[in-house]
């Protein structure tokens, strides 16, 4: 009974401690006030000339900067104070115009050698840094009924083509279509048509007097597919719009079956944020104007991705985005990238009419967005800056019509699959997505955020201090061992959270505080057990051994059950509460390591391998 | 063997006390209900900070004269922070509108936060929260039944339900706001109280196997006496940090700290009295635990 650990155990513990310290280090470097400049469109990336311009503008207006670095997709300028950051923001936003967005940001100052190891600080939740939180709900009934409308018109035209005589076809409930027939045979024909072509529907036949009905209902799987699609489409659109807001680290994420969370750190102006998030993009399909067309019937547009290229399109619109039911990137039979587009019944008809007459002419797709535009005027010798909403129309594709087409067609000859997916994305973003509603909205002011951090940290320090003092007084040398373990526990917890880049929220801090209080429990169990074994007459070395091995089963059981509660909390909770669940669960895991393995190692170092008459355990 | 305290001698008094608390909690919950927070009810909330502490009655009349009705105005943490809950449906500018009408008398008012939760979201959260609590209890019951024995699991879950009801009851009786962080605290209470109960149960199981001659009451008394100092020390350290959280953690986390403070106190009591009381009432005997001794013999054998 020597209570000695083999060397490899010590080495393993030291490695863990080393890694823990390393990965929690980034949290000690305070963030810089920064401005992040990004292009208004994905194709516009800040370059060296913009970099020079920004440096010049800032030095002219006397703003001191720490550094300005050109990164992959943005230009990051750091400042030493929040005042110079704010001055710089207004200077830059005024002078750079609408092509670039200057967003306030907090830039981590993690040194390069740490960054290279993949280390970085924890992220702060909205309740700690201030910002806006939105919860949006996608109207799934609307999404379904839109889809059913498309199905109905498609069914009608298929039945006409196949010479099936039907009386009427109508949407029935939220997930079905009912078709009315005068004759049983006609219904049978329609049924076999549905079996071969519309497998996603379940079929039921009902007879009422002399009328025969066939009801097609969407299967559960198909409904889920439609819902997922509606959510995905909205997510893509929202991400594009949020990017335009120029927020440093936005979050756009699906939550549950039909909701989307949008979090915009640092934003205070909910009205502007909502206007941009809620705005709609649209599409127009138009023929290219003939070379001799008059200016009354044609219009000149720029291309979205090549600002220097322009084309003339007719003023007549063939179909709009609301007729587009789907757009997907894919490949043709030769492996060349293409985009497949489907239109609804009405749109298909219009498209067929237009393309029949226009083979070998070109058709353009216009993308229409609402953007806020800054304009400057000199009024009474003073410059007045106003921001207005303007509609911006750009061509996203211009392609030759090879043959007449209706409901579904494809755009081929695209350069790359990346181009194809971007085009498909724009087509979908501009098409009619299922409507979304704001169901929750929270704004946290920056002062409240700072106040929350301070209060959280202070309570952590005080709580930590109280526990340290108590353990020292109550358990003496063993108390010191437990305190070392407790301190390392907090370091490891921070390291873990930084490593998985978990978000720290106020309840998350509360979770850490609670962990500090509860983490000593394992040590209390062990120490009490050792005391008992000593009282039972075991020698000190035997008591240490017995104490640790007896207490372990209990510690394990007790922690597993707490972990169960924490995991459920994670599943049930949203936002900040999730943060609490994360810190609580991670805290349980790290405290198991520090209070069982680590304290044993220290105790072995202090007492192990020699003759001892008395333990200092209070 | 340490000095034995006759815990179970007072078990009828304890049972009476527990039942009294639970009945009072349930009565208050069914008569008064809970002051549910915005997270669960849905609605609109605006928090503002005054430079100088305002008179709440003035704030209320100022707002109602500007056309807001069904207001709740209260201080939030300090006398300068004011929380306004409105039945008004939400619009983007409500925060600045409230600030505007409050500062119309020349006071300096700053907007700290504005929140809006849709009624349906609140309702779902209520359901989810309740479901989460039940799920936690169910899984815990299963785990304890597998790891120990069914009677122990009834005892443990009985203690948990007891704790949860009393904590929620306190919130109802004292009219404290029950928000999402309090729900989180309740789940943490479940975790904590369970931790305590399991430590005690573990010792009871061990002692049933060791002390073959002792009666169930004696075994439980011995086990409780042995674990008492651990129970008290852990409660104390947890209470220490919670007190720090309660006093300096800020108003947003106040409900959370209150719920856990009560929960830890009740949980400590229930791990001593409720779980063991249920065990005795259900007539736990050594036979309940004898069978596994053969399988887990090494646990007994590893005595030096």
User: Does the pLDDT of residue A569 top 60, yes or no?
Assistant: yes
pLDDT of residue A592: 92
B164 in contact with A at a CB cutoff of 8 Å?
A: no
Q: Do A565 and B49 touch (CB under 8 A)?
A: no
pLDDT of residue A385: 59
A445 in contact with B at a CB cutoff of 8 Å?
A: yes
Facing residue for A557 by CB, picked from B183, B198, B244 = B198
The gap from C-alpha A39 to its chain's centroid, in whole angstroms, comes to 20
Residue of A nearest to B141 (CA): A561
Tokens of B69: 């009705």
pLDDT of residue A40: 65
B131 in contact with A at a CB cutoff of 8 Å?
A: yes
User: Does the pLDDT of residue B236 top 90, yes or no?
Assistant: yes
Residues of chain B contacting A573 with CB distance shorter than 8 Å: 132, 180, 183-184
Q: Do B250 and A532 touch (CB under 8 A)?
A: no
User: Does the pLDDT of residue A381 top 80, yes or no?
Assistant: no
User: Does the pLDDT of residue B33 top 50, yes or no?
Assistant: yes
Which three-class secondary structure state does DSSP give residue B98? helix
Distances (CA, A) of A360 to A192, A356, A363, A412: 39, 10, 9, 14
Facing residue for B240 by CB, picked from A466, A569, A571 = A466
- Model pLDDT for residues A129-153, shown as the tens digit of each residue: 888 888 888 888 878 887 787 788 7
- Model pLDDT for residues A71-120, shown as the tens digit of each residue: 877 888 898 887 888 888 888 877 887 778 777 777 888 888 888 888 88
Nearest-Cα distance to chain A for B232, in Å, is 10
| Close Cβ partners of A254 (under 8 Å, ≥ 6 residues apart) | A231, A235, A260, A261
Helices A575-592 and B180-210, axial angle in degrees (round to 10) = 30
Q: Do B242 and A517 touch (CB under 8 A)?
A: yes
Q: Which helix (H) or strand (E) holds A379?
A: strand A362-379
Residue of B nearest to A274 (CA): B92
Residues A148 and A57: their CA atoms lie apart, in Å, by: 56
A525 in contact with B at a CB cutoff of 8 Å?
A: yes
Residues A51 and A557: their CA atoms lie apart, in Å, by: 59
B3 in contact with A at a CB cutoff of 8 Å?
A: no
Per cent of chain A over pLDDT 90 is: 21
- Where exactly does CATH 1.20.1640.10 map onto chain A? 7-26+445-607
Which residue in A95, A445, A6 sits closest to B114, CA to CA?
A445
pLDDT of residue A1: 54
pLDDT of residue A432: 53
A32 in contact with B at a CB cutoff of 8 Å?
A: no
A400 in contact with B at a CB cutoff of 8 Å?
A: no
- Model pLDDT for residues A219-271, shown as the tens digit of each residue: 998 899 888 888 887 887 788 777 766 677 788 888 888 889 888 887 766 66
Which CATH number does the domain A32-107 belong to among 3.20.20.150, 3.30.70.260, 3.10.290.10, 3.40.50.2300? 3.30.70.260
Nearest-Cα distance to chain A for B28, in Å, is 26
Residue of B nearest to A128 (CA): B252
User: Does the pLDDT of residue A6 top 70, yes or no?
Assistant: yes
Long-range contacts of A189-192, Cβ-Cβ distance < 8 Å, separation of 24 or more:
A189/A162, A189/A164, A190/A159, A190/A164, A190/A166, A190/A214
Long-range contacts of A247-252, Cβ-Cβ distance < 8 Å, separation of 24 or more:
A247/A103, A248/A36, A248/A103, A248/A104, A248/A105, A248/A106, A249/A105, A249/A123
- Where exactly does CATH 3.30.70.260 map onto chain A? 32-107
pLDDT of residue B304: 43
- Model pLDDT for residues A404-415, shown as the tens digit of each residue: 888 888 888 777
pLDDT of residue A151: 81
- Model pLDDT for residues A40-58, shown as the tens digit of each residue: 665 677 888 889 988 888 8
- Model pLDDT for residues A425-436, shown as the tens digit of each residue: 777 766 656 777
Residue of B nearest to A271 (CA): B92
Residues A189 and B191: their CA atoms lie apart, in Å, by: 63
The residue behind tokens 């063997």 is: B1
Which CATH number does the domain A7-26+445-607 belong to among 3.40.605.10, 3.90.1570.10, 1.10.15.40, 1.20.1640.10? 1.20.1640.10
pLDDT of residue A598: 94
pLDDT of residue B166: 96
Calculate ∠ Cα A391-A394-A398, nearest 5°.
Answer: 150
**Which of the two residues, B80 and A278, has the higher pLDDT score?**
B80
Q: Check residue A125 and report its DSSP letter.
A: P
A426 in contact with B at a CB cutoff of 8 Å?
A: no
pLDDT of residue A228: 87
pLDDT of residue B303: 43
User: Does the pLDDT of residue B295 top 50, yes or no?
Assistant: no
Mean pLDDT along residues A289-314: 84
- Model pLDDT for residues B130-153, shown as the tens digit of each residue: 888 888 888 888 888 888 888 899
Number of CB pairs < 8 Å for A and B? 228
What value does the mean pLDDT of chain B take? 85
Supply the ipTM of this predicted assembly: 0.85
Which residue in A220, A222, A175 sits closest to A198, CA to CA?
A222
- Model pLDDT for residues A354-375, shown as the tens digit of each residue: 888 888 999 998 887 766 566 6
Q: Which of residues 183-222 of B touch A (CB under 8 A)?
A: 183-184, 187-188, 190-192, 194-196, 198-199, 202-203
Distances (CA, A) of A487 to A123, A428, A509, B192: 22, 53, 15, 21
**Which of the two residues, A539 and A250, has the higher pLDDT score?**
A539
Q: In A580-611, which positions are buried (b, 16+ CB within 10 angstroms) versus exposed (e)?
A: bbbbbbbbbebbbbbbbbbbbbbbbebbbeee
pLDDT of residue B87: 67
Residues of chain B contacting A506 with CB distance shorter than 8 Å: 250, 252-253
Q: Do B226 and A532 touch (CB under 8 A)?
A: yes
Residues A233 and A240: their CA atoms lie apart, in Å, by: 11
pLDDT of residue A85: 83
B142 in contact with A at a CB cutoff of 8 Å?
A: no
Name beta bridge partners: A67: A78
Facing residue for B199 by CB, picked from A507, A516, A525 = A525
Residues A489 and A521: their CA atoms lie apart, in Å, by: 13
The architecture CATH gives domain A280-442: 2-Layer Sandwich (3.30)
User: Does the pLDDT of residue A162 top 90, yes or no?
Assistant: no
Q: Which of residues 110-129 of A touch B (CB under 8 A)?
A: 127
Please, are residues A437 and A136 in contact by the beta-carbon 8 Å criterion? yes
Please, are residues A444 and B45 in contact by the beta-carbon 8 Å criterion? no
pLDDT of residue A431: 66
What value does the mean pLDDT of chain A take? 84
pLDDT of residue A281: 65
Residues A166 and A153: their CA atoms lie apart, in Å, by: 13
Residues A559 and B196: their CA atoms lie apart, in Å, by: 10
- Model pLDDT for residues A165-198, shown as the tens digit of each residue: 898 888 888 889 999 999 888 899 899 888 888 8
Residues A275 and A283: their CA atoms lie apart, in Å, by: 19
Residues A525 and A558: their CA atoms lie apart, in Å, by: 11
Name beta bridge partners: A254: A260
Residues of chain B contacting A464 with CB distance shorter than 8 Å: 241
Distances (CA, A) of A193 to A201, A204, A212, A564: 12, 14, 16, 52
| Close Cβ partners of A568 (under 8 Å, ≥ 6 residues apart) | B132, B135, B136, B139, B187
**Which of the two residues, B16 and A71, has the higher pLDDT score?**
B16
Residues A38 and A243: their CA atoms lie apart, in Å, by: 9
Nearest-Cα distance to chain A for B100, in Å, is 16
* Pairing status of strand A131-138 against strand A436-444: antiparallel
User: Does the pLDDT of residue B164 top 90, yes or no?
Assistant: yes
pLDDT of residue A35: 85
Q: Do B237 and A584 touch (CB under 8 A)?
A: no
A315-319, A341-345, B5-9, range with greatest mean pLDDT: B5-9
pLDDT band, very low/low/confident/very high, at B296 (cuts 50, 70, 90):
very low
B150 in contact with A at a CB cutoff of 8 Å?
A: no
pLDDT band, very low/low/confident/very high, at B301 (cuts 50, 70, 90):
very low
pLDDT band, very low/low/confident/very high, at B302 (cuts 50, 70, 90):
very low
Facing residue for A455 by CB, picked from B116, B187, B248 = B248
Q: In B96-134, which positions are buried (b, 16+ CB within 10 angstroms) versus exposed (e)?
A: ebbbebbeeeeeebebbbbbbbbeebbebbbebbeebbe
Facing residue for B230 by CB, picked from A525, A536, A573 = A525
Domain A141-220 has what CATH class?
Answer: alpha beta
- Where exactly does CATH 3.30.1360.200 map onto chain A? 280-442
Please, are residues A95 and A474 in contact by the beta-carbon 8 Å criterion? no
Q: In A156-183, which positions are buried (b, 16+ CB within 10 angstroms) versus exposed (e)?
A: beebeeeebebeebeebeebbbbbebee
Q: Which domains does chain B carry?
A: 8-36+121-292 (1.20.1640.10), 43-117 (3.30.70.3400)
Count Cβ atoms below 10 Å from residue A189 Cβ, excluding itself: 18
């Amino acid at each position: 009974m020597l209570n000695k650990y083999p060397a490899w155990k010590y080495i393993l513990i030291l490695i863990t401690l080393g890694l823990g310290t390393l990965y929690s280090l980034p949290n000690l470097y305070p963030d810089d006030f920064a401005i992040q400049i990004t292009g208004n469109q994905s194709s516009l990336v800040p370059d060296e000339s913009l970099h020079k311009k920004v440096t010049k503008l800032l030095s002219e207006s006397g703003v001191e900067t720490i550094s300005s670095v050109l990164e992959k997709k943005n230009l990051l300028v750091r400042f030493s104070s929040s005042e110079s950051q704010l001055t710089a923001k207004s200077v830059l936003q005024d002078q750079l115009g609408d092509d670039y967005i200057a967003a306030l940001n907090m830039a981590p100052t993690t040194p390069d050698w740490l960054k290279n190891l993949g280390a970085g600080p924890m992220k702060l939740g909205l309740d700690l840094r201030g910002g806006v939180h939105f919860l949006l709900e996608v109207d799934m009934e609307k999404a379904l009924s839109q889809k059913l409308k498309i199905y109905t018109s498609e069914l009608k035209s298929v039945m006409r083509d196949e010479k099936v005589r039907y009386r009427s076809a109508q949407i029935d409930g939220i997930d079905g279509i009912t078709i009315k027939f005068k004759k049983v045979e006609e219904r049978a024909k329609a049924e076999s048509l549905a079996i071969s072509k519309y497998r996603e529907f379940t079929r039921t036949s009902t007879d009422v007097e002399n009328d025969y009905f066939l009801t097609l209902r969407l299967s559960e799987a198909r409904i889920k597919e439609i819902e997922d699609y509606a959510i995905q489409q909205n997510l893509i659109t929202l991400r594009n719009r949020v990017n335009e807001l120029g927020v440093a680290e936005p979050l756009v994420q699906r939550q549950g079956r039909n909701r989307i969370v949008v979090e915009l750190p640092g934003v205070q102006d909910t009205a502007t944020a909502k206007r941009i998030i809620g705005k709609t993009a649209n599409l127009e399909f138009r023929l290219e104007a003939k070379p001799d067309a008059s200016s009354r019937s044609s219009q000149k547009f720029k291309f979205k991705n090549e600002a220097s290229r322009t084309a003339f399109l007719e003023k007549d619109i063939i179909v709009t985005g609301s007729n587009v039911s789907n757009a997907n990137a894919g490949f043709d039979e030769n492996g060349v990238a293409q985009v497949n587009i489907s239109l609804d019944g009405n749109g298909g008809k219009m498209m067929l009419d237009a393309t029949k007459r226009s083979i070998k002419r070109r058709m353009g797709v216009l993308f229409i967005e609402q953007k806020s535009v800054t304009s400057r005027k000199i009024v009474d010798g003073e410059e007045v800056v106003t921001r207005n909403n303007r509609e911006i129309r750009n061509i996203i594709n211009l392609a030759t019509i090879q043959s007449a087409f209706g409901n579904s067609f494809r755009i081929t000859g695209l350069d790359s699959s990346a181009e194809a997916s971007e085009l498909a994305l724009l087509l979908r973003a501009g098409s009619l997505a299922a409507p979304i509603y704001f169901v929750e909205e929270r704004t946290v002011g920056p002062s409240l955020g700072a106040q929350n951090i301070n209060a959280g940290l202070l309570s952590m320090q005080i709580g930590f201090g109280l526990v340290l003092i108590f353990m020292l007084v109550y358990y003496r040398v063993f108390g010191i061992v437990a305190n070392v373990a407790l301190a390392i526990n907090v370091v490891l917890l921070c390291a873990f959270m930084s490593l998985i880049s978990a978000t720290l929220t106020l309840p998350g801090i509360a979770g850490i505080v609670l962990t500090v209080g509860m983490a000593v429990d394992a040590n209390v169990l062990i120490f009490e057990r050792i005391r008992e074994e000593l009282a039972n007459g075991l020698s000190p070395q035997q008591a240490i051994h017995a104490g640790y091995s007896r207490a372990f089963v209990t510690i394990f059981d007790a922690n597993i059950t707490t972990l169960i509660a924490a995991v459920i909390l994670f599943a049930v909770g949203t936002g900040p509460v999730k943060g609490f669940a994360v810190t609580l669960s991670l805290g349980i895991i790290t405290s198991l390591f520090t209070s069982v393995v680590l304290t044993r190692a220290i105790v072995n170092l202090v007492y192990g391998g020699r003759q001892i008459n008395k333990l200092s355990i209070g | 063997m340490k000095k034995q305290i006759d815990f179970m001698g007072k078990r009828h008094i304890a049972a009476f006390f527990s039942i009294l608390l639970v009945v009072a909690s349930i009565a208050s919950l069914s008569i008064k209900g809970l002051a549910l927070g915005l997270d669960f009810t849905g609605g609109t909330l605006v928090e503002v900070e005054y430079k100088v502490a305002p008179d709440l009655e003035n704030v209320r009349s100022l707002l109602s004269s500007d056309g807001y009705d069904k207001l709740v105005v209260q201080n939030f943490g300090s006398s300068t922070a004011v929380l306004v809950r409105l039945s008004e449906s939400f619009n983007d500018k409500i925060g600045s509108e409230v600030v505007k009408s409050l500062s119309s008398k020349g006071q300096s008012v700053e907007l700290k936060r504005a929140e809006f939760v849709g009624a349906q979201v609140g309702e779902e959260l209520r359901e989810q929260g309740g479901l989460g609590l039940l799920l936690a209890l169910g899984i815990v019951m299963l785990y304890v039944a597998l790891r120990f024995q069914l009677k122990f699991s009834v005892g443990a879950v009985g203690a948990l339900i007891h704790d949860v009801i009393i904590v929620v009851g306190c919130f109802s009786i004292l009219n404290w706001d029950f928000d999402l962080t309090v729900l989180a605290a309740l789940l943490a209470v479940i975790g904590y109280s369970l931790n305590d109960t399991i430590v005690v149960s573990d010792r009871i199981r061990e002692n049933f196997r060791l002390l073959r001659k002792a009666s169930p009451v004696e075994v439980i008394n011995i086990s409780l006496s042995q674990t008492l100092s651990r129970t008290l020390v852990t409660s104390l350290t947890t209470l220490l940090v919670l007190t720090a959280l309660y006093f300096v953690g800020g108003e947003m986390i106040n409900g959370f700290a209150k719920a856990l403070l009560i929960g830890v106190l009740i949980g400590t009591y229930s791990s001593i009295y409720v779980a063991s009381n249920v065990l005795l009432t259900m007539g736990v005997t050594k036979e309940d635990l004898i069978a596994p001794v053969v399988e887990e013999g090494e646990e007994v054998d590893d005595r030096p």
